[in-house]
Amino acid sequence: MYGIIATWRMAKEGVELADQMLKNGEVSGKAIEAAIKAVEDFPYYKSVGYGGLPNEEQIVELDAGYMDGDTMSVGALGAIKDFANPISIAKKLSEEKVNNVLVGAGAEKYAREMKFEEKEMLTDRAKAFYRKRKKELDKELKPYDGHDTVGMVCLDTAGTVTAATSTSGLFMKRSGRVGDSPIVGSGFYADSQVGGATATGLGEDLMKGCISYEIVRLMVEGLTPQAACEKAVTDLDRKLREKRGEAGDLSVVAMNCKGEFGCATNIGGFSFSVATKDQEPVVYLVTREEDGHCSFREADQEWLEEYMRVRMAPVEES
Ligand code: ASP
């Protein structure tokens, strides 16, 4: 078996690429890296890599994480500026013996030493979104409004499971703010004997439940990926509401070492992309029922076209 699952529609092209690589016997680590790079490189996805939205100082600070489920090796980056592919740097860091998690200037120094491609990651389009949002900030605006991290779990034919994330984090975040995405166990987790999971949503809340680790732990207990995702999201959502009065956005996907997959969310509008040996690459739209169960249906052509139209539409600045 082989397979790859990823948060959101934006991962579709990356998933298609990885699917081909896995079919040809490529290892999980290389396939997942290529898939995430495809999302990082696409300028119209405004929450990952090139074209990602900046922080409150109009600086694009990127987070990324990578885990190899064979060895438990982890590499992660927080708040790195001006490098084209944070995922490749995180993956490289996972090969180091120590110093696996680097942030800010230290991360940039490492990336420069390792000769990773440097690139101005702030695009004119992202600047236009920034200007627009600045004006809206006078009006009422939720601190967390609009997100999308790409997170993936990948299984190869040899049975290796990897998990990885890449994001520009929350739009208008504070300088130096790091979300769940580069935090192992929160944004991502992989264990080749079990499977892997990854999350998107409000990092500050996802972290409180170590949600990706929790999903993998539930799969160890025998839950299917779908049941594990639903239980982890429902339990954390309930706990947050009980203890804090509200819960941020929580959305997750998981795949086990048999290539079975699942998803869950506490919001409307979550989508994911997936491909396995038995399943052509597809985008699913997730619906959450009152009781926390989540069902998904294939996105139709109209939805897919509208998605791209909205992503590529000019930024209207009033
Ligand atoms: N989880 C990310 C963060 O808090 C945001 C997202 O998923 O879009 O940085």
Question: For 157-181, what is the mean pLDDT?
Answer: 95
User: How many folded domains does the chain comprise?
Assistant: 1
For 167, phi then psi, to 5°, come to -160, 155
Which pLDDT score is estimated for 301?
94
Q: Is the CB of 249 under 6 A from ligand 1?
A: no
Residues in the chain: 318
Nearest-CA residue for ligand 1 atom 9 is 169
Which pLDDT score is estimated for 145?
58
Q: Is the CB of 47 under 6 A from ligand 1?
A: yes
CATH number for position 216: 3.60.20.30
Q: Sorting pLDDT into bands at 50, 70 and 90, what band is 314?
A: confident
Q: Does residue 118 sit within a domain?
A: yes
Which pLDDT score is estimated for 147?
63
- Distance (Å) from CA 19 to ligand 1 centroid: 25
Q: Does residue 183 sit within a domain?
A: yes
- Distance (Å) from CA 187 to ligand 1 centroid: 9
Query: For the purposes of burial, counting CB atoms within 10 Å of the CB of 203, is it exposed (0-12), middle (13-18) or buried (19 or more)?
Result: buried
Question: For 263-276, what is the mean pLDDT?
Answer: 96
Q: Is 309 left (phi over 0), alpha (psi -120 to 50) or beta?
A: alpha
Question: For 63-77, what is the mean pLDDT?
Answer: 98
Q: Is the CB of 181 under 6 A from ligand 1?
A: yes
Q: Is the CB of 149 under 6 A from ligand 1?
A: yes
Q: Sorting pLDDT into bands at 50, 70 and 90, what band is 50?
A: confident
For 163, phi then psi, to 5°, come to -140, 150
Catalytic site residue 149?
yes
Sequence-distant (6+) residues with CB within 8 A of 81 are: 59, 60, 61, 62, 108, 121
Taking alpha carbons only, the member of 132, 117, 155, 130 closest to residue 35 is 155
Q: Which of 7, 123, 149, 165 is catalytic?
A: 149
Determine what percent of the chain is predicted with pLDDT higher than 90.
Answer: 81
Which pLDDT score is estimated for 146?
56
Residue-wise pLDDT tens digits, 272-282: 999 999 999 99
Q: Does residue 285 sit within a domain?
A: yes
Q: Sorting pLDDT into bands at 50, 70 and 90, what band is 311?
A: confident
Q: Sorting pLDDT into bands at 50, 70 and 90, what band is 122?
A: confident
- Distance (Å) from CA 180 to ligand 1 centroid: 7
Q: Does residue 317 sit within a domain?
A: no
Which pLDDT score is estimated for 90?
98
Domain coverage including residue 265: 3-312
Taking alpha carbons only, the member of 110, 118, 188, 124 closest to residue 153 is 188
Q: Does residue 65 sit within a domain?
A: yes
Q: Return the best residue to mutate from 53, 145, 181 for the ligand 1 pocket (most ligand atoms within 8 A of CB).
A: 181
Q: Is the CB of 151 under 6 A from ligand 1?
A: no
Q: Does residue 318 sit within a domain?
A: no
The whole-model pTM stands at: 0.96
Please tell me the distance from the alpha carbon of residue 23 to that of residue 262, in angstroms, as a whole number: 21
Better-scored residue on pLDDT, 45 or 65: 65
Q: Is the CB of 85 under 6 A from ligand 1?
A: no
- Distance (Å) from CA 47 to ligand 1 centroid: 9
The answer to whether residue 143 scores a pLDDT higher than 60 is no
Q: Does residue 135 sit within a domain?
A: yes
Q: Are the C-beta atoms of residues 101 and 80 closer than 8 Å to each other? A: no
Q: Does residue 250 sit within a domain?
A: yes
Sign of CA dihedral 302, 230, 210, 249: positive
